[in-house]
A and B are shown apart, each in its own frame.
Chain A
Amino acid sequence: AQSVTQLDSHVSVSEGTPVLLRCNYSSSYSPSLFWYVQHPNKGLQLLLKYTSAATLVKGINGFEAEFKKSETSFHLTKPSAHMSDAAEYFCVVSDPISSSNTGKLIFGQGTTLQVKP
């Protein structure tokens, strides 16, 4: 069975400093991995996805993540935080679609990113 663990429930950084949001996954298959961002009372926006291509994935708004199979990690980073980055971030895993799996998503617990002026 697949699962995902976000190691930090809350991360606080100063504007202009790097961001690191940590995620570890467990999957019996070659997983697809995603990072989504959610602003208060809003839906989810896809930041980036990994689907067995390049291990370093670049996303929107300057975010990127590196898939490390040996560490079963998919940490999200950004070189310089902006105030607008303050939100909830979810690491998500999905097993490949098969006859018994419609590709449903399993969400991590979420990490709240606070950006201080």
Chain B
Amino acid sequence: GAVVSQHPSRVICKSGTSVKIECRSLDFQATTMFWYRQFPKQSLMLMATSNEGSKATYEQGVEKDKFLINHASLTLSTLTVTSAHPEDSSFYICSAKSPLGGGYTFGSGTRLTVV
């Protein structure tokens, strides 16, 4: 139980295009989801907190117009990287608080490469 599914696992896109990453809670409802970015050999950095039915809360330094977050249902949050640049290439991971008590469940991550 408490599985978070993230798609796609890998995506390569051209500079200037937009990419959408989906994060779904498969067997539970997640009113709050979190989006992280991880650069090679670095830790996870929280980008934003996604709240169902309301605007996302972005961490300092994260451009909300570039990283669009939509949390339209209790089981789906999406992150859209708009006008992607090579420096946006990274590993993006979503998570949701597990209903099983304590802990957070993470998606399997999306490796974004912008060429």
Contacts and interface: CB of A to CB of B under 8 A. Distances in A.
B103 A46 contact: yes
A44 B44 CA distance: 10
Interface residues of B, number: 25
A90 B32 contact: no
B64 interface: no
A49 B109 CA distance: 21
Given A34-B103, A41-B111, A43-B108, A108 B43 contact: yes
A86 B6 CA distance: 24
Contact of B43 (A32, A42, A94, A109): A109
Contact of B109 (A34, A43, A46, A106): A43
Contacts, number: 52
Contacts of A41: 91, 109, 111
A84 interface: no
Contact of B32 (A34, A43, A49, A102): A102
Interface string B36-65: 000000111110010100000100000000
A43 B43 contact: no
Nearest to B51: A102
Given A41-B91, A102-B49, A107-B44, A49 B102 contact: yes
A6 to B, nearest CB: 9
B59 to A, nearest CB: 9
B67 interface: no
5 contacts: A44-B95, A46-B104, A51-B102, A102-B57, A104-B34
Given A49-B102, A90-B44, A102-B51, 12 more contacts: A41-B109, A43-B6, A43-B107, A44-B106, A90-B43, A102-B49, A103-B32, A103-B97, A104-B46, A105-B95, A107-B44, A109-B42
